[in-house]
Amino acid sequence: MSAKPKEAISSNMPRVGAHDDRPSEPARDSLRQFRLAIAAMRPRQWTKNGLVVLALIFAHKLSDVGADERVALAVAAFALASSAVYIMNDWVDRDRDRLHPRKRFRPLASGALRPSVAFVTAVLALLGATGLVVWLGLWLARLSDPFAMWGGSPLLFALTLGGYVAVNVVYSLYLKHQPLWDVFIIALGFVLRAVAGALAIPAPISPWFYLCATFLALLLALGKRRAELVALTDGAANHRSNLGAYTIQLLDQLVTIMATCALISYSFYTFQGESASHALMLTIPFALFGVFRYLFLMYTQGAGERPDELLWRDRQIFVCVALWGIVTLVLLYGLPRV
Residue 34 is predicted with a pLDDT of 92
Residue 276 is predicted with a pLDDT of 54
Say whether pLDDT at 286 is over 90: yes
Residue 274 is predicted with a pLDDT of 59
Residue 135 is predicted with a pLDDT of 96
Residue 21 is predicted with a pLDDT of 56
Selected residue with higher pLDDT from 48 and 288: 288
Sorted by where each begins, the domain ranges of the chain are: 42-204, 206-338
Query: What CATH architecture is 42-204?
Result: Orthogonal Bundle (1.10)
pLDDT, mean of residues 278-307 = 89
The neighbour count for residue 292, using CB atoms within 10 Å, is 13
Q: What percent of the chain has pLDDT over 90?
A: 51
What's the rounded Cα separation, in Å, for the pair 274 and 67?
Answer: 18
**Tens-digit pLDDT profile for residues 223-280:** 988 888 887 766 555 556 677 788 889 999 999 999 999 999 999 988 876 555 678 8
Average model confidence (pLDDT) across the chain? 86
pLDDT, mean of residues 31-54 = 90
User: Which residues touch 27 (CB under 8 Å, ≥6 apart)?
Assistant: none
> For 88-102, 161-175, 196-210, which range has the lowest pLDDT when averaged over its residues?
88-102
Residue 199 is predicted with a pLDDT of 95
**Tens-digit pLDDT profile for residues 148-165:** 999 999 999 999 999 999
Residue 243 is predicted with a pLDDT of 76
Residue 336 is predicted with a pLDDT of 52
The neighbour count for residue 61, using CB atoms within 10 Å, is 21
pTM of this structure: 0.82
